[in-house]
Structure 1
Amino acid sequence: MRSLSRRLTSVLFATLVVTLPLQALAATESIVLGMGCFWGAEKRMSEIPGVLDVESGYAGGDAERASYRDVLNLEKRIQRGKSDARNHAEVVKVTFDPEQVGLERVLIGFWESHNPTQGDRQGNDVGSNYRSAIYVSNEAQRAVALETRDAYQQALSAAGFGPITTEIAPLRHYNRAETYHQDYLTKNPDGYCGLGGTEVAYPGSDQGETAKPQADRLQASDLDAERQLIVFEAEDCPFCQAFRAEVLESWSSAVPVVTTLNPRPPEGWMLEKDLFATPTMVLFEDGKEISRYTGYKGDKARFWQWLGFQILTPEQQRIAFEQGTERAFSGSHLDEKRPGVFVDPITGAALFRSDTKFESKSGWPSFFNPVEGALTYHEDRSHGMRRTEVRSASSGIHLGHVFDDGPPPTGKRYCINGNVLSFVPDRD
């Protein structure tokens, strides 16, 4: 009798374990959404209260089965004109509790979290596999999708955006993405934060469900028209905060810099393409983007090298990044004797005071003492010699070498390429 009681208890427990999740699952609803790269889409949609699960996948294509490699390979064939098949879009399957959040609220998050006016692309990702899409399971979902699309189009049009290109169609051929794609940005934050769409709020909501009041655009009249670096940031972006702390707070470069929370450039200035993440550092010349640097993971040397390739001459680049040497008596600053400081041409960081400069007759500017902490030292065995190379501590660029044949009090001779120095005279 006791044995029978145990068996009945076990069966009852097993029934509860199996039945409760099924009951909970039956109370949920799912919709499949394409917002460009599913990594960012997964993260953004999972932040909506009431959303229980967000899964990356592929849907909307002709193939019944598809993998990441299948999708990429087909897109290449489509772009080359070798296939007219319909490719899958990268999508997320959003499962939510209708008692906590309605489908309209989920779709408001969808509209506000990407740019639905770009056709077969999203930000830097180009191709039909990155199209904006809503794949519905029934007519009720389709009706809400169309209603919210028309409402958001009004807001976008008022903000100067074009027509929505989002595909709204019945769901077909959904495939779950590979395991390594799931929760990708949680596992691989990669040094940047997603922008979160057009920053246009869905009408009728309190500044939108996910959008925030848009910051004012920068005014072109406040900037340097000839050359200007703009850092596009976002609120609550830890990588933006790190870039501020590690680079901007000690900024002394001759390149003027400004930050903004608005994803659009000043009126009349042109971005080459939309921003897709923050921080993004964009260098403008004459109001046009000439280069950009996206993301920041504490890699100051990489950032300064990027900026150096934009502002240094080819000869300066050869010296700075290829350990080149200018010909003797051909460089800059040989005869510079004014009180002042010689600085890194990229970062503006002080390297040598002019009162440590002396005439060495070597053909290169020579100094007997650097600014404290300004240099790093590296063994150099090139050209059959054993020398000590010196680099700028702030940017990492090659400056020259140090020798033990200098004057008192240090006895050192810092033999420096004048073409990778800038001079800042002392103020009266």
Structure 2
Amino acid sequence: MEIHPGSKPFASYMAKLVGFFKVIAAVSVVVVGVSACGQEKNDMNQPAALAGTPIVLKNNPASAESVVLGMGCFWGAERRMSELPGVLDVESGYANGDIAGNYEAVLAHERALHAGRAQGRNHAEVVKVTFDPARVSLTQVLARFWESHDPTQGDRQGNDIGSNYRSAIYTQSEAQRQTALKTREIYQQALSAAGKGKITTEIAPLTTYYAAEDYHQDYLKKNPNGYCGLGGTGVKYPAEGGASASLTAGTGAVLAKPLDGKALSFNRQLVVFEAADCAYCKQFKKEVLDHWRSEVPVVLTMSANPPTGWVLEKALFATPTIVLFEKGKEVSRYTGYNGEQKRFWHWLGFQLLTPEQRKIAFEQGTEYPGTGSHLDEKRAGTFVDPITGAPLFRSDTKFNSGTGWPSFFNPLPGAITLHEDNAHGMKRVEVRSASSGIHLGHVFDDGPPPTHKRYCINGNVLKFVPDTAQ
């Protein structure tokens, strides 16, 4: 199992710092798939439900049913299923394993399995969902299940790898099993028609179920900025008339119409894949997109599919995911956003800049004097960051310093940041772009009035935008 930023284990480690919260409701329909969504031990030593023993919840109608489903991390699964009209309650848990039912035991057992030090089946991370058959059918519940994750990935969902993330439907009756098998057959036909792979979802009776730790319950309600899984294939579950059987309320990116590839920039285009109610998506829009000046065109979509006629290298698994397409094909992606603007711009810069530019921008390199761009640029205009497009210097503050580098006596307000630089046995003040954080050059106290400053800048990491077409 991988543990790194963007993965569920990493997200759940961070979740431990948030604190622990008390659960306010139990659940009936279990969506299975053990993730690293937390690290507190479960005090329960006995299974909460066994095969053939219906899960009974208080304050629910006598007709209520429950089903257990595995679709990766239970944080996103819990929210997806709870949005479906007619679902009464959802609870995160662990199911159908041979070990103790708590997060630490599940994570440790998965590591031991991969190292060949253990035998026995691990639990899947699950949500147990209760629904009212008078308002929503099991077929509709399962349609939402199929649409909300990628059931073709085996023991994984996106970057969350391990048998604890397997796709599964754990049933409590023969009628449920038959419905699960029928919906799998129908959805496989839809996937095959869309060029997708074979479904790997396990369909079996529920044998063991443990409720997850309290802080996992309603996790995304208590932590709006928590890990936000996407995971869908973008293929709708077929129904008569062509409508999705999972109803329309609360649907996210998996049901949205793909962008029209012909309407986008074929040579180079950024596409931001979002999801409904994704806090990180809103944060990315506020902190990055609302101030977008980069020359690279960018567009938003709620679909998990690429623009029509274009190609993604692999399925999406989290939002926001920012994909750079060139000539209709994915060349790079940035998955997840947590306020790290400089990290995002660093990623984009590596795609846009030449090797010589990257050496200056990211390794504090210096071009040879007299070799950089814009040394003799005298037109009226603005020198901007080559990645973000943010203004840095006006041309009327540029002067000939005789050093071989473009020099300025004043930056635009808020355009740069200054940093102490003691490299190479010298004491200097480094100049960086405030928007992207890239290295620009250094500032010295031997410039002309009125500032008497000389901002000595590498011309190769500047882009010039004339005031008018020259």
Q: TM-score, normalised by structure 2?
A: 0.76
Q: Which has the larger displacement, 351-360 or 379-388?
A: 379-388
CA contact (8 A) 1:192 1:279 kept: no
Q: Is the 8 A contact 2:429 2:443 kept in 1?
A: yes
Task: Mark the CA change 1:408 to 1:191 in structure 2 (over 3 Å): closer, same or farther.
Answer: farther
Task: Identify unmatched segments of 5+ residues in structure 1.
Answer: 1-20
Contact 1:402 1:412 in 2 (8 A): yes
Which residue of structure 2 lines up, in the alignment, with residue 176 of structure 1?
Answer: 211
The alignment yields a C-alpha RMSD, in angstroms, of 3.0
| Pick aligned residue for 1:389 from 415, 426, 430 | 430
151-160 or 387-396, which deviates more = 151-160
Number of the residue aligned with 2:126: 91
Aligned amino acid, residue 270 of structure 1: V
Helix, strand or coil: the match of 1:277? Answer: coil
2:96 counterpart residue number: 60
Matched, 1:230 2:258: no
- Match status 1:376 vs 2:412: no
Residue 91 of structure 1 aligns to which amino acid in structure 2? V
Q: Are 2:89 and 1:47 aligned?
A: no
2:292 matched residue in structure 1: 251
1:352 paired to 2:393: yes
Per-residue deviation, 1:364: 2.0
Distance in 1, matches of 2:94 and 2:226, equals 26
Secondary structure of 1:278's partner?
coil
The change in CA–CA distance for 1:368 and 1:175 in structure 2 (over 3 A counts) is same
Structure 1 stretch 137-146 or stretch 36-45: which is displaced more? 137-146
The residue aligned with 1:203 is 238
SS in 2 for 1:360: coil
Of 104-113 and 154-163, more deviation after overlay is shown by: 154-163
Instruction: Kindly indicate whether residue 260 of structure 2 is the aligned counterpart of residue 218 of structure 1.
Output: yes
Question: Relative to 1, partners in 2 of residues 1:362 and 1:22: Cα closer, same or farther, differing over 3 Å?
Answer: closer
- AA at the equivalent of 1:36: G
Give, in whole Å, the separation in 2 of the partners of 1:23 and 1:46: 17
1:34 to 39, 46, 70: 70
> Which structure has the greater CA radius of gyration?
1
Alignment of 1:71-150 (within 5 A): 71-79=106-114, 85-150=120-185
1:350 deviation in Å?
1.9
Question: Is the alpha carbon distance of 1:133 and 1:192 closer, same or farther for their aligned partners in structure 2, counting shifts above 3 Å?
Answer: closer
The whole-number CA distance in structure 2 between the counterparts of 1:357 and 1:224 is 36
Distance 1:39 1:48 in 2: 15
> What do the CA deviations read for 1:132-171 (whole angstroms, capped 9, x no partner)?
1111122122122223323333433444433332211011
Task: Report the alpha carbon displacement of residue 127 of structure 1 after superposing the two structures with TM.
Answer: 2.7
**Separation in 2 of the partners of 1:33 and 1:391?**
50
Q: How far apart are residue 387 of structure 1 and its match?
A: 4.0
Q: How many residues align?
A: 406
CA deviation after TM superposition for structure 1 residue 57, in Å? 2.0
In structure 2, the gaps of 5 or more residues are: 1-55
Shift of 1:78: 4.2
Whichever structure has more helix as a proportion of its residues is 1
Q: What letter corresponds to residue 49 of structure 1 in structure 2?
A: P
Task: List per-residue Cα deviations over 1:239-273 (Å, max 9, x = no partner).
Answer: 43443343234322233323333322235543232
Paired position in structure 2 for 1:15 = none
3-state SS of 1:144 partner: helix
1:317 to 348, 354, 358: 358
Task: Assess, with a 3 A threshold, how the Cα gap between structure 1 residues 196 and 317 changes in structure 2: closer, same or farther.
Answer: closer
Q: How does 1:262-301 map to 2 (within 5 A)?
A: 262-267=303-308, 269-301=310-342
Q: Match for 2:459 among 396, 418, 421? A: 418
Identity, % of aligned positions: 68
Selected match of 2:449 from 392, 408, 413: 408
- CA 1:256–1:130 in structure 2 vs 1: closer, same or farther (change >3 Å)? same
Kindly report which structure 2 residues correspond to 1:189-200, keeping only aligned pairs within 5 A, or say none: 189-190=224-225, 193-195=228-230, 197-200=232-235
Over 3 Å counting, the alpha-carbon distance change for 1:305 and 1:22 in structure 2 is: closer
Letter in 2 for 1:165: T
Residues 242/67 of structure 1: CA separation in 2 closer, same or farther (3 Å cut) = closer
Residue aligning to 1:162: 197
Q: 2:134, 2:328 → 1: CA distance?
A: 50
SS of equivalent to 2:170: strand
Provide closer, same or farther for how the CA distance between residues 320 and 187 of structure 1 changes in structure 2, counting only shifts above 3 A.
farther
Q: Find the partner of 1:261 among 278, 302, 319.
A: 302
Q: Is the 8 A contact 2:414 2:434 kept in 1?
A: yes
Secondary structure of residue in 1 paired with 2:164: helix
Q: Does the Cα contact within 8 Å between 2:430 and 2:441 map onto a contact in 1? A: yes
Shift of the 248–64 alpha-carbon distance from structure 1 to 2, 3 Å rule, reads: closer
Mapped to 1, the partners of 2:194 and 2:261 lie a distance apart of 18
Amino acid aligned to 1:47: E
Bigger mean CA offset, 312-321 vs 76-85: 76-85
Report if aligned partners of 2:281, 2:337 keep a CA contact under 8 Å in 1.
yes
- The CA deviation at 1:284 is 2.6
Q: What TM-score, normalized to structure 1?
A: 0.83
